[in-house]
Amino acid sequence: MIPFIKMQGCGNDYVFLDGFSGPLPADPAQLAVQMSDRHRGIGADGLVLMLPPDSDTCAARMRMFNADGSEGLLCGNALRCMAMWLHQSGRCGTQFAISMGVRSITSQILESCVEARTAVVRVLIGKPVQLNSGVADNSRFVKHLSASDLTNVTLPKLISPVAHVSMGNPHTVLFVPSLCDVDVEQLGAMIATHPFFPHRTNVEFVEIANPSVSTNPNFAGADARVRVWERGSGETLACGSGACAVAVAASSAGLLSNRNSVVISMPGGELRVLWDDDFNVNLEGPAVEVFRGAFLSGSVK
């Protein structure tokens, strides 16, 4: 049996394994597929390994595997959940760093309730990857795509060119007049696996919120509404790095009036994205422990 903790941030849920207490299964990719299955497994958007640090500058290390077994390069929601666990288990204080891939991500516990196993956490994702040289402002992080780049894809009506942003993992952002008019499942899958993206891409469909015409009170405080198709998990209720990519792309396109702090509303809840004048991006939002258990691993070795 494999002990696990299930946690979620804005409905983006993962199965977490404690690598501090002992060895972990040798094939986490296969285990991720089994555990993530919502009918035959625990049910999740992926699997997270919480590991001891491999450097003196970090308190821990994180690896994340999507529901299809592919390894993710960044996951803002899972990072916040792991930060909550590190803090509430007594391993860390209120500010510390977690490494994921090549990034060292500072985590700050803003609120914590041990009894409820909930927290509000801010993580410093850092700068987007620079895609354009010789540009001084935010637009250096955004590459615009044309219809000729996305051959055989019928794009919906757009209010701004398709934007590609990398937060260390790839995101393709489409700004649309209304999310109601977009077939997220079909179009998201087509773009995510398009030959233009040899390693696939995450896809965000974005409706810039207009409080004067909004009929949904749940979006009253949001700057943008977003639905996400993740390249390794399909549509998810939220995506932390996707929220960051949307903020960068929207700010670059001049679609947001507040250029240093925005609220992104996703089906699972709201995330706040903040950045400074050097374009260091912070992600702030909830983390919640759902339950703990033990997985009967079967054939997993």
Q: pLDDT tens digit string along 232-272?
A: 999 999 999 999 999 999 999 999 876 689 999 999 999 99
Q: What does the pLDDT average to over 58-85?
A: 97
Every domain of the chain with CATH number 3.10.310.10 lies at: 2-125+286-295, 138-279
Give the model's pLDDT for residue 258.
Answer: 62
Query: For the domain 138-279, what is the CATH code?
Result: 3.10.310.10
Furthest-apart CA pair in the chain: how many Å? Answer: 56
Least confident of 99-108, 188-197, 208-217, 268-277: 208-217
Q: Give, in degrees to the nearest 5, the angle at Cα 292 between 290 and 295.
A: 125
- Among 10, 81, 92, 239, the active-site one is 239
Which pLDDT tens digit goes with each residue over 5-58?
A: 999 999 999 999 999 998 999 999 999 999 999 999 999 999 999 999 999 999
Give the model's pLDDT for residue 220.
Answer: 53
As a three-state string, the secondary structure of 235-291 is EECCCHHHHHHHHHHHHHCCCCCCCCEEEEEECCEEEEEEECCCCCEEEEEEEEEEE
How many whole angstroms separate alpha carbon 173 and alpha carbon 202?
9
**Superfamily in which the 2-125+286-295 domain is placed by CATH:** Diaminopimelate Epimerase; Chain A, domain 1 (3.10.310.10)
Q: Give, in degrees to the nearest 5, the angle at Cα 42 between 40 and 45.
A: 105
> What's this model's pTM, rounded to 2 decimal places?
0.93
How many whole angstroms separate alpha carbon 123 and alpha carbon 117?
18
Nearest by Cα to 24 from 13, 35, 38: 35
Q: Residue 62: in which H helix or E strand, if any? A: strand 60-66
- Token pair for 103: 């990034």
Q: Decide if pLDDT at 214 tops 90.
A: no
How many whole angstroms separate alpha carbon 68 and alpha carbon 30?
8
Q: Decide if pLDDT at 134 tops 80.
A: no
- Among 75, 81, 92, 244, the active-site one is 75
Integer CA distances (angstroms), 128 to 132, 137, 200, 246, in order: 11, 12, 18, 11
User: Catalytic site residue 81?
Assistant: no
Give the model's pLDDT for residue 298.
Answer: 60
User: Computed from CA positions of residues 82, 234, 23, 290, in that sequence, does the dihedral angle turn out positive or negative?
Assistant: positive
